[in-house]
Amino acid sequence: MSRVHGYGRVETGRTLTFTFDGRTYTGHPGDTLASALLANGVHLVGSSVKLGRPHGISAAWTEDATALVQIERPFPEPMLQATTVELVDGLVARGLRGQGRLASLADPARYDRQHTHTDTLVIGAGPAGLLAALAAARAGEDVVLVDDRSCAGGALTGTEVVDGRPALEFVADVVEELARLGVRHLQRTTAFGQYDDGFVLALQRRTDHLGAAAPAHRGRQRVHRIRALKVVVATGAQERPIVFADNDRPGIMLAASARDYLHRYGVLAGREVVVFTSDDAAYAAALDLAGAGSEVTLLDVRDAPPREWAARAADAGVAVHASAVVTGTEGEQRVRAVLARTVDGGIRLPADLLLVSGGWNPVVHLFSHARGALAYDPELGSFRPTSSLPGVTAIGAANGTLDLAGVLRDGAGPDAPVAGPEPARTPTGIVWRTEGDPDRQFVDIQRDATVTDIGRAVGAGLRSVEHVKRYTTIGTAHDQGKTSGVLASGITAELLGARIEDLGTTTYRPPYTPVAFAALAGRSRGELFDPVRTTPLHEWHVAAGAVFEDVGQWKRPRYYPRPGEDMDTAVLRECAATRSGVGILDGSTLGKIDVQGPDAGVLLDRLYTNMMSTLKVGRVRYGVLCGNDGMVLDDGTVLRIDEHRYLLTTTTGGAATVLDWMEEWLQTEWPELRVHLTSVTEQWSVFPVVGPRSREVVGEVFADLDVGNDAFPFMAWRDTTLDGVPVRVARISFSGELAYEVNVCSWYAPALWTRLLAAGQRHGITPYGTETMHVLRAEKGYPIIGQDTDGTVSPQDLGMSWVVSKKKDDFVGKRSFSRPENHNPLRKQFVSLLPVDGRTRLPEGSQIVELCDDGLPEPPVPMLGHVTSSYHSAELARPFALALVKNGRARIGELVDVPVDGALVRALIGDTVLVDPEGARRDG
């Protein structure tokens, strides 16, 4: 065991049992999987993707590049860093080589998201972030503080002194005051992406660390969508390794990480330790490990080691070699010896742990996500924020401040708490790699990508770090180049003889650390993936046995089968009943837009192809909307309610599109128009009562309403009441039959529906669904926009030139009608198709070709058009179809072929109106 008495903050009083690679070990609450493995002396975790080289644990947190594991229990999760998995009882994991494995069963966990708005968001609860949050909170700001680790404190180990007391006491005091001030402080919450205008995404891990004790009601993870006026990036810095030969062996670790394992987890990662550094910070690691009982030798790249630190090292019995570099290592499953060159020549140092430090890389990811500019800082040997980004500041180590006193000042300003005395920092030696075999110098350890690979890339002619990244795959692995990115730029610059400042880095992209798909999906799954919209009559439809179809977000009854009926027989029955008696449809899903204002008529005239402003109050007009290209966008009816008010309807699926379309014109092109648009789709329920007996039914229910043709003609609407409830009835027909569309406030919809059914009972009133509605309208040649059209069909193509005003100066789409192609006689036109055999129902979507007496020729076969709608007609006692056919209207009476399942079905082109061409039925 490598656990050291007197160190660490894990709960040694409780023991957790876990399994790794089939062997059972123990750890304690507060451990990560990595710290528990190290405590058990396990350094070997997995192997490299390409070469199969053994890999260990190379850091203590998210910068780790090697310790990738697959979780098997409590639930399979692919590829996590052992350094970030909090240990729970019963955890089962295994080391990975390259690929994770997805669970084969559904994830039972819940995920959710929360929107947060705040004045100041501080990312990172290290000393800088804590003090920044405190300053903002004391100034009365609303503050959110997020931090990715399990507790606040950042890189503080507990050995530091702040304001004369141990640093962790200082942390606890600040945390307590933040709580008192109402700061929303979230630990285990990783800010993983920053977008424009202070928008930050943060993932909170809420249950995994609790194991079996997690409350059942709590979601596993939560995405916080935080909008902040000010974002303070206090994300710290990550230690940068130095590349040397065989630098990928288990037992080679960042220096500060070993210190973290000691102070946070009480784990001494090695007994025989070599520290290889070009930076002062590693001296602290060396001294701490020596103090905990390790034999430590320190190799400093620099010619002049920092004097104070060197003196302390001498006191602690740590041998310091100046001007020394590591040139290689030995050991397969774990490092066994370190090969180095010192001023005295080559030496071999036996070691079971090699700590490395090449300085520090500010964690600039979140700053860079929002396009904050970075520049190379030659003292740091890394990139840090330069210009400030509006509303975003980087402080502390994230901004390149590495001494504690400076970090405290960054967070709190001149009145900052005072850091205990520390040796003054001396300049970092900027070294990307040492001498040695470049084939074995791994730059991106996870991708097995070496200095040789970079050399090949440069030799191949590549000059951009983006090209080098793609050639070598450096930075593309699970860690997205956290430790390798700057090294790759530096080594590339060296090999090119260029300046690293000119090369820059590859782009930082969200997320900062990987985020589970399900966490991002949140609750938007299953029923909640897209809202299910139902009408007030939904329960009635369900009780009536309706079969539903998805139309946009709506669930609409498609047909109401009686026992033993399939769709075809049910629809034939519904159609026949409606045409011969009376049917009723729940048309409530129809889009409805209330258009109000003195310029309402002007707006509608500009958007519809026909004139709406001349419509008289009390009357209804059918209208078509076209896009800029003159192609039909949607259609519907327009009711003029009063001088300054219209109620228009849209197709069910097109409602949102039409409202958006109208608003876009109103807001961006014609803001001067005094018009307001309001969706009233849900507010009004609509029941078309359809068929020759509809007058009797409607007349009976609304005794006050004169339903005769003279008083209430076709395309008129009338208001009435029923038991004091206002009802609007319109003479609109989508079937060619006498029909009354009954509109009522949706609150009363079920009651009114029941009344209509009751009154219709003796007439055999038949509820029908969308399929019957489609058949009835198709028999009359009325197109469904979006089914019979596809965005390439003009009103003229539909045979509806009559709906295009010739009087209006302009309207959306008008100019397009004059383009030559719109007058091409070979445009596809809307026609009917009757299968000659009288039996075959042509599949919708079928293509239409010229007659092929000798069977279908070899491709390519010219196509004339396609079948848009196809049904069996009760009225015609045969199948029929609607189609778009090139030059179709001129070809009425001609035969064409339709390939269906390898055969050809012959069909006759006809006019679109197949039932009641005289229009005799609409007035009953």
Partner 1 sequence: MNDVTTAPGADLPEHPDFLWRNPEPKKNYDVVIIGGGGHGLATAHYLAKNHGITNVAVLEKGWLAGGNMARNTTLIRSNYLWDESAAIYEHALKLWEGLEDDLGYPILFSQRGVLNLAHTEQDIRDSVRRVEANKLNGIDAEWLGPDEVKRICPIINTSGDIRYPVRGATYQPRAGIAKHDYVAWGFARRVDEAGVDLIQDCEVTGFTVDGDRVTGVRTSRGDIGCGTVALCAAGHTSVLLDELGVRTPLQSHPLQALVSELLEPVHPTIVMSNAVHVYVSQAHKGELVMGAGVDSYNGYGQRGAFHIIERQMAAAVELFPVFARAHLLRSWAGIVDVTPDASPIVGHTPYENVFVNAGWGTGGFKATPGLGWCFAHTIAHGQPHPYVAPFSLDRFTTGALVDEHGAAAVAH
Does residue 490 contact residue 500 with C-beta atoms inside 8 Å? yes
Q: Which residue's CB is nearer to partner 1, number 810 or number 858?
A: 858
Tell the smallest beta-carbon distance from residue 367 to partner 1 (Å).
Answer: 14
Does residue 121 contact residue 232 with C-beta atoms inside 8 Å? yes
Half-sphere exposure in the Cβ direction for 543 (13 Å, CA): 5
Tell the smallest beta-carbon distance from residue 126 to partner 1 (Å).
Answer: 25
Tell the smallest beta-carbon distance from residue 858 to partner 1 (Å).
Answer: 8
Q: From CA 449, how far away is CA 455, in angstroms rounded?
A: 11
Q: Which residue's CB is nearer to partner 1, number 414 or number 459?
A: 459
Does residue 446 contact residue 488 with C-beta atoms inside 8 Å? no
Q: What is the dihedral of CA 460, 462, 467, 472, to 10 degrees?
A: 40
Tell the smallest beta-carbon distance from residue 104 to partner 1 (Å).
Answer: 6
Q: Which residue's CB is nearer to partner 1, number 12 or number 524?
A: 524
Tell the smallest beta-carbon distance from residue 466 to partner 1 (Å).
Answer: 5
Tell the smallest beta-carbon distance from residue 837 to partner 1 (Å).
Answer: 19
Tell the smallest beta-carbon distance from residue 876 to partner 1 (Å).
Answer: 22
Q: Which residue's CB is nearer to partner 1, number 330 or number 549?
A: 549
Tell the smallest beta-carbon distance from residue 216 to partner 1 (Å).
Answer: 18
Residue 857's identity, in one-letter code, is P
Tell the smallest beta-carbon distance from residue 114 to partner 1 (Å).
Answer: 13
Walk across the sheet containing 591-596 and list its strands.
620-626, 632-642, 645-650, 591-596, 676-679
Q: From CA 343, how far away is CA 323, in angstroms rounded?
A: 6
Q: Which residue's CB is nearer to partner 1, number 148 or number 599?
A: 148
Give me the helices (H) in 691-825, please: 694-701, 749-760, 770-779, 814-817
Tell the smallest beta-carbon distance from residue 524 to partner 1 (Å).
Answer: 4
Q: Which residue's CB is nearer to partner 1, number 556 or number 718?
A: 556
Q: What is the largest CA-CA distance in the chain?
A: 115
Of 887, 886, 795, 870, give the one whose Cα is nearest residue 834: 870
Cα 355 to Cα 58, 254, 806, 822, distances in angstroms: 9, 5, 84, 75
Q: Which residue's CB is nearer to partner 1, number 348 or number 823?
A: 823
Tell the smallest beta-carbon distance from residue 663 to partner 1 (Å).
Answer: 14
Q: From CA 11, how far away is CA 775, in angstroms rounded?
A: 73
Q: Which residue's CB is nearer to partner 1, number 11 or number 196?
A: 196
Tell the smallest beta-carbon distance from residue 229 to partner 1 (Å).
Answer: 19
Q: Which residue's CB is nearer to partner 1, number 47 or number 297?
A: 47
Tell the smallest beta-carbon distance from residue 851 to partner 1 (Å).
Answer: 15
Strands 739-745 and 725-730: antiparallel
Q: Which residue's CB is nearer to partner 1, number 205 or number 579?
A: 205
SS3 460: coil
Tell the smallest beta-carbon distance from residue 102 to partner 1 (Å).
Answer: 5
SS3 869: strand
Does residue 441 contact residue 324 with C-beta atoms inside 8 Å? no
Q: From CA 2, how far away is CA 32, in angstroms rounded?
A: 15
Residue 831's contacts (CB-CB under 8 Å, 6 or more residues apart) are: 882, 883, 884, 885, 888, 889, 891, 892, 909, 910, 911, 912
Q: Which residue's CB is nearer to partner 1, number 3 or number 469?
A: 469
Here the tokens at position 238 are: 């990550």
Q: From CA 558, how far away is CA 545, in angstroms rounded?
A: 11
Q: Which residue's CB is nearer to partner 1, number 225 or number 645?
A: 225
Here the tokens at position 658 are: 């039409």
Tell the smallest beta-carbon distance from residue 831 to partner 1 (Å).
Answer: 16
Q: What is the dihedral of CA 581, 582, 583, 586, to 10 degrees?
A: 170
Look up tokens 């001088």; give the residue: 643
Q: Which residue's CB is nearer to partner 1, number 420 or number 511?
A: 511
Does residue 899 contact residue 856 with C-beta atoms inside 8 Å? yes
Q: From CA 637, how far away is CA 615, in angstroms rounded?
A: 12
Q: From CA 27, how far away is CA 36, in angstroms rounded?
A: 5
Q: Which residue's CB is nearer to partner 1, number 415 or number 527?
A: 527
Q: Which residue's CB is nearer to partner 1, number 758 or number 861?
A: 861
Cis ω for the linkage preceding 561 (within 30 of 0) = no
Tell the smallest beta-carbon distance from residue 110 to partner 1 (Å).
Answer: 11
Tell the smallest beta-carbon distance from residue 792 to partner 1 (Å).
Answer: 5
SS3 376: strand
How many other C-beta atoms are found inside a 10 Å radius of the C-beta of residue 176? 10
Strands 161-162 and 165-166: antiparallel
Walk across the sheet containing 725-730 and list its strands.
717-722, 725-730, 739-745, 684-690, 583-585, 766-768
Q: Which residue's CB is nearer to partner 1, number 163 or number 549?
A: 549
Q: Which residue's CB is nearer to partner 1, number 281 or number 632?
A: 632
Q: What is the dihedral of CA 406, 411, 414, 418, to 10 degrees?
A: -60
